[in-house]
Amino acid sequence: MRAAFACAIALCLSLSTGQASASDTVVIKDMQDREVTIPADPKRIVSIPVVMPPMLTAVDGTGDRIVGMHPVTQTAVRESVLSRIAPELLDVPTGFIQGGFKVNLEEILKLKPDLVFQVSSEQKEIEKMESVGLPVIATDSGDFYDYYTGYLDILGKVLGKADRAQQIRDEFDQSLEQIRAKTADIKQEDRPKGLILFNVERLMATGTGSFANYWLENTGARNVASDIKTSPRGATVNMEQILSWDPDVIYITNFCSTTPEDLYENKVPGQDWSAVKAVKEKRVYKIPLGIYRWYPPSADSALMLKWMASINQPDLFADIDIREEMKDYFSRLYDFTLSEDDIDHILKPDPTSDWKWN
């Protein structure tokens, strides 16, 4: 993977004095439209947003710049193929996180970061870090496409690898165009009723305000939870609501350990899924875990579109062989060869298993 990205042009720094000159820094406009001055070639980056380290690694070709990350991210790294593509991420410190997206300032300073990525909702945390001289780039969430492209745009500028960031975006845009060309004219009543569950045990359904609408509507389905306003993590509902929606197809994110078999066998305490159409027809799917979880933005998002479209509209997308698509994508984008076992585990992740990436 590193060799595939070695063509990036190195930024020239002037280090003739002990103080940073104008040529040592660049000004980045973050996702809050703030102008942030950062080192022109940052070597030590702390990322608090959970989706950022895998995307940064995909753009940069290595995780060597990342010196701090959220433990939620590291859990995904351990369970994913990224642990083999960028094993350096397994040892990145996470202990500076105090809970949620809040940080221990003393611990984060020990990491000596050149810059910090932080979610925009944590304004006090941003101010706290900036008060001790740390450059902080705020990231935001919202519409999936704006979120996804905003991340790539910022990473391209921060890392000096705009062409690489654009390559990943182009892959997504091409997949989106291909799928929309076949699904645009499907009437709402002819689309399967889809539901994405962020967390099954807590019955967190993803409605408007999450990424669910984007994924389902752009892959030939409709979101049965679109009438409820939620965060990207969803909102808590009850089984009565699930039964009234009666989805044709259900997707479960990787932010919980529940598997489709748990629903088929009615193993979730306090819940009865036996009368839900998607369960009766065995149309419950665990969202894949590739370079990162596929529900939020990731460098694999082009694959997420094809995978979900082939499930929602199998006749329209009978030509998509997702396993071959994955092999080709990982080879071209990450310079990494997937084995058949790798693909099995990406498509059917099970954090409760004893699977180890070799």
Q: What is the pLDDT of residues 208-234, one digit of tens each?
A: 888 999 999 999 999 999 999 988 888
Q: Which of 97, 129, 161 is the last residue of a domain?
A: 161
Residue 353 lies in a domain: no
In this structure, the answer to whether residues 139 and 288 fall within a common structural domain is no
Same domain, yes or no: 153 and 206: no
In this structure, the answer to whether residues 190 and 234 fall within a common structural domain is yes
153 and 52 fall within a common domain: yes
Examine the fold and report which residue of 161, 179, 209 is the final residue of a domain before the chain moves on.
161
Are both 37 and 101 inside the same structural domain? yes
Q: How far apart are CA 155 and CA 135, in angstroms?
A: 15
Residues 72 and 175 in one domain: no
CATH number of the domain to which 212 belongs: 3.40.50.1980
How many Å apart are CA 90 and CA 33, to the nearest integer? 32
Do 246 and 292 sit in the same domain of this protein?
yes
User: For the chain, how many structural domains are there in total?
Assistant: 2
Parts of the chain with a pLDDT under 50: 2-22, 354-358
Question: Is residue 357, in this structure, part of any structural domain at all?
Answer: no
Name every residue whose Cβ is closer than 8 Å to that of residue 296 and which is 6 or more positions away in sequence: 50, 51, 211, 232
Regarding whether 152 and 256 lie in a shared domain, the answer is no
Determine, yes or no, domain membership for 118.
yes
Q: In the chain, which ranges are continuous DSSP H helix?
A: 52-60, 71-79, 82-85, 105-110, 123-130, 144-159, 162-183, 212-217, 239-245, 260-264, 277-280, 301-312, 322-334, 340-347
SS3 198: strand
What is the reported pLDDT for 351? 64
Check whether residue 31 and residue 156 sit in a common domain. Answer: yes
Last residue of a domain, one of 161, 184, 212: 161
**Which residues is 29 bridged to in the sheet?**
35
Pair 29, 157 in one domain:
yes
**146 and 196 in a common domain:** no
Q: Tell me which residue range forms the domain holding 343.
A: 169-347
Q: Which amino acid is at 134?
A: L
